[in-house]
Amino acid sequence: MVIMTKLGEKKNEREGMRLGKYELGRTLGEGNFGKVKIARNTDSDQPYAVKIIDKNKIIDLNITNQIKREIATLKLLRHPNVVRLYEVLASKAKIYMVLEYVNGGELFHIIASKGKLTEREGRKVFQQMIDGVSYCHTRGVFHRDLKLENVLVDNKGNIKITDFGLSALPQHLRADGLLHTTCGSPNYVAPEVLANKGYHGATSDTWSCGVILYVILVGYLPFDDRNIVVLYQKILKGDVQIPAWLSPGARNMIKRILDPNPETRITMAEIKEDPWFKKGYIPANPEDEDVYVDNEAFPIREETNEVEQRNSGSATLINAFQLIGMSSCLDLSGFFEKEEISERKIRFASKLSVKDLNERIEDTVTEMGFIVQKKNGKLKLMRENKSHKTLGCLSVAVEVFEISPSLYVVELRKSYGDGSVYKQLCKKLLNDLGVPPKQELMSELSSQLEDI
């Protein structure tokens, strides 16, 4: 049973420190909000991995929901090919996730150091991955960030799927029954996720499994390019080159999974019936166990959907994938260059804070005779000409999107009115707000994509 208990506060987690019945050992890894240490159960002498999360850091990084989502997901899953969560312990400042210890490392490091696997070895890894991922789907869990780095291998060659921080549960579906948050890792993300129109978690996870299968059998990524926009164009087309030296069964499997059309893409059930997949396949037996978590030790608000709540003084938070999805034909140049202003809408990037952006926009448009209305984090700019019903009249909606703490995108959208006045307004704001150099902004965008 997974439980949460309160612990006495400790300033530092040092080697040899006791955490309830666990004795902490060396650090296995370190991230932005905490670290992972090996631990020994002093009663059974069994090894575990303890993920130590600093509460203040996850609040500062605005990822409290991501951590709670990972815990909520892992407590649902009991499968031999999914990393298991045993306990969640808590102190005033830290959260301690006691996880299954997998001693073989990441599949990524194995492929990077040893190269591609034989077809027999690769099929075994793929069978276990499909077993684990399809089990997650039956429990209503969609991983959404499947990649080599999130597949661990134990010393017997069995795989364990990990890192459910971006996973989705049934409560994250919108009214249309689809997921809408654009997330994942660039080389593994499905084309329908990039299309920004909603997607099924199961079909997008299947695509990512296909990318992993390609890498472990071929030795390199099926879709890759240093230019992120070119990479996404390749993914959307689904034009993958499958080596002729692979067996017909493996080639067919890759082709059917990496189908850019999610409606015709092979399903998990169909994969399990495929003759190539079924060779030597031994289905795993998931365990069934009730789980209890005391949420008082983890005071983070519940999520009801994937729409971020915001107040009137904040920006809409989007990630770099969503920024690309907002741009037609994946052309980002309009965000970073002062190009010809369109008739209805313009977007441009800025390094100013939300507060400074709103203040400068308000000052500029007020001087031009506009009235400013504020609602739900958006601005509505209105100007009327009492002597003429259309000439000089204009209504424009303004919204600021946060890409990172130091990068924002401003969108001006004309509702109705005089086109010439709209262009004057846009030019004035572009000059007053200042668009940073394209190279600087593209560097910031690329950095964020690498961190996702």
Beta bridge partners of 343: none
CB count within 10 Å of CB 22 equals 24
Ramachandran region, residue 329 (left: φ > 0; alpha: ψ -120 to 50; beta: rest): left
Grouping H, G, I as helix, E, B as strand and the rest as coil, residue 115 is coil
Domain 316-451, CATH class in plain words: alpha beta
Active site residue 154: no
- On the question of pLDDT at 406 being above 80, the answer is no
User: Which residue is catalytic, options 145, 205, 259, 418?
Assistant: 145
Written as one string, the DSSP assignment of 145-159 is ---GGGEEE-TTS-E
Q: Which residues contact 242 (CB under 8 A, 6 or more apart)?
A: 214, 218, 251, 254, 255
Distance (Å, rounded) from C-alpha 306 to C-alpha 176?
A: 13
Residue predicted with more confidence, 237 or 334: 237
- On the question of pLDDT at 26 being above 70, the answer is yes
Report pLDDT for 276: 97
Residue predicted with more confidence, 434 or 384: 384
Instruction: Summarize the confidence of residues 189-211 as an average pLDDT.
Output: 92
Per-residue pLDDT tens over the stretch 28-49? 887 667 788 999 999 899 999 9
Residue predicted with more confidence, 308 or 338: 338
| Helix extents (H) in 288-437 | 320-326, 333-336, 354-367, 419-433
Instruction: Summarize the confidence of residues 327-334 as an average pLDDT.
Output: 43
Domain with CATH 1.10.510.10 in the chain: 107-278
Instruction: Summarize the confidence of residues 375-404 as an average pLDDT.
Output: 73
Instruction: Find where tokens 């000409």 sit.
Output: 385
Instruction: Find where tokens 């309160």 sit.
Output: 6
Report pLDDT for 100: 92
CA dihedral (259, 202, 221, 250) positive or negative: negative
The fold of 4-101 is: Phosphorylase Kinase; domain 1 (3.30.200)
User: Annotated binding site for ATP: which residue ranges?
Assistant: 51
107-278 is classed CATH 1.10.510.10: yes
Mean pLDDT for the chain?
79
Host H or E run for residue 70: helix 64-74
CB count within 10 Å of CB 59 equals 12
- On the question of pLDDT at 128 being above 50, the answer is yes
CB count within 10 Å of CB 16 equals 7
- Which range of 46-50, 205-209, 308-312 scores highest in mean pLDDT? It is 205-209
Distance (Å, rounded) from C-alpha 280 to C-alpha 449?
A: 38
- On the question of pLDDT at 306 being above 80, the answer is no
* Percent of the chain with pLDDT strictly greater than 70: 76
CA dihedral (125, 127, 130, 135) positive or negative: negative
C-alpha atoms less than 13 angstroms from C-alpha of 294 in its C-beta half-sphere: 11
Distance (Å, rounded) from C-alpha 131 to C-alpha 147?
A: 16
